[in-house]
Amino acid sequence: MSHATNITALRSDFPILAERVNGQPLTYLDSAATTQKPAAVIAAIADYYRHDNANVHRAAHALADRATAAFEEARRKVQKLLGAQRAHEIIFTRGTTESINLVAQSHGGHRLRAGDEILVTELEHHSNIVPWQLVAARKGAKVLAVRVTANGEIDLDDLDSKIGERTRIVAVGHASNALGTINPVDEIVRRAHDAGAVVLIDGAQATAHLDIDVAALDVDFYAISGHKAYGPTGIGALYGKESLLESMPPWQGGGEMIETVTIEHTTFNRLPFKFEAGTPHIAGAIGFGAAIDYLAAIDAQALANHEATLLRLVTDRLAQTEGVRLIGTARDKVSIVSFLLDGQHPHDVATLLDQQGVAVRSGHHCAMPLMQRLGIPGTVRASLGLYNSPADVDRLVRAVEKTRALLT
């Protein structure tokens, strides 16, 4: 497959970007919430329903064979994306949230004891906090949070002070959805393992922007969502080390995850099926595989340069815009910029931007502890994808300037 280097030309692969919003051309700057989908992904989903629609693994007819082959090929694509050594270490889930809940309830529910500690950070999405609170409450364990510095970076000295002999699980995001901060996950994994803890990485915001190699990281669990990486909603994956997955009890019961069932007793299927109860999101997995193929056909360095250029541009332009205060200025970031407009609520700003055809996200971004740490109610967040351009940055800045004039 050829590797595209003209990133700007790829915008035409995304049909929705031709839409008009409130009479204006769409400038979509909400990719951290969900990315738009290229035509290749849309076509892959439609082709499955048109030509191969059948349930997987449990039939001997041709459609089921084709559906099963495509579904399992998608698993192998996720395996390659994450650098996993074995395909059965990839569990299909509904997304990062379900993946983290699976680990919390199965691994945490099986291993945690009263007095144990789970370490998260103040930078986490609620999906990497609440599941740990739920299992901690059930098991008598405690959730602790590592502090975040004023510029939005994890305080590694505070990590060292809080990790200890009671720490059983360390759960941290690879990149922050609220600020874009790229966390030093290799160093965090090393320190956690030195303390004897298991590590889960929330990779939702990393998948579309960073190279991921779970084997090189030596991470125990890694959770991702397809819709953050140009794939469909409702599909994601959990990577887990084989030895850990084998030791964990099933999380949900039903079809597919069983080997034998009697009224008195059930034995469970092998990996990965032990954790995939019921009919999976087959079309979603196939669409996710198509998204992985789409990204693989783009020159990785060209894409990284494109996003880095846009991040510098939008950061510099907003920093020079009167009344704008940037929130989160970490040295290493994915292409996310959070900001406030002096004296204005983020929701009011986002609403006026939308009226000008500029789609951003406003609020606490499912990161309320972070906002409390920073002493703010929320931010306006502009998050960029491969389909954005300097023209989009220009439209954002001009819309912010107009919004400021309207509100003052």
Q: What is the model's pLDDT at position 408?
A: 81
Q: Do you know the residue count of the chain?
A: 408
What is the three-class DSSP state of 235? Answer: coil
Q: What is the model's pLDDT at position 3?
A: 60
Calpha distance 257→157 (Å, rounded): 43
One DSSP character per residue, 286-325 reads: HHHHHHHHHHHTB-HHHHHHHHHHHHHHHHHHHHTSTTEE
Q: What is the model's pLDDT at position 350?
A: 98
Cis peptide before 272 (omega within 30 of 0): yes
Topology adopted by domain 43-296: Aspartate Aminotransferase; domain 2 (3.40.640)
Catalytic residue among 4, 42, 313, 366: 366
Which CATH architecture group holds 7-30+299-407? Answer: Alpha-Beta Complex (3.90)
312 assigned to active site: no
Q: What is the model's pLDDT at position 58?
A: 81
Q: What is the model's pLDDT at position 1?
A: 37
Is 119 in contact with 146 (CB distance < 8 Å)?
Answer: yes
Q: Which two tokens stand for residue 373?
A: 């740490």
Is 20 in contact with 356 (CB distance < 8 Å)?
Answer: no
Spell out the domain ranges in the chain.
7-30+299-407, 43-296
Beta-bridge mates of residue 173: 202
Q: What is the model's pLDDT at position 4?
A: 65
Calpha distance 309→293 (Å, rounded): 24
Calpha distance 91→52 (Å, rounded): 22
The DSSP output letter for 105 is: I
| pLDDT tens digits in sequence order for the chain, 408 residues long | 346 668 888 999 999 999 999 999 999 999 999 999 999 999 999 999 999 999 999 888 999 999 999 999 999 999 999 999 999 999 999 999 999 999 999 999 999 999 999 999 999 999 999 999 999 999 999 999 999 999 999 999 999 999 999 999 999 999 999 999 999 999 999 999 999 999 999 999 999 999 999 999 999 999 999 999 999 999 999 999 999 999 999 999 999 999 999 999 999 999 999 999 999 999 999 999 999 999 999 999 999 999 999 999 999 999 999 999 999 999 999 999 999 999 999 999 999 999 999 999 999 999 999 999 999 999 999 999 999 999 999 999 999 999 999 988
Is 185 in contact with 210 (CB distance < 8 Å)?
Answer: no
Is 275 in contact with 245 (CB distance < 8 Å)?
Answer: yes
Closest alpha carbon to 220 in 372, 403, 333, 89: 89
Is 78 in contact with 99 (CB distance < 8 Å)?
Answer: no
The DSSP output letter for 107 is: I
Closest alpha carbon to 92 in 231, 208, 205: 231
The DSSP output letter for 250 is: P
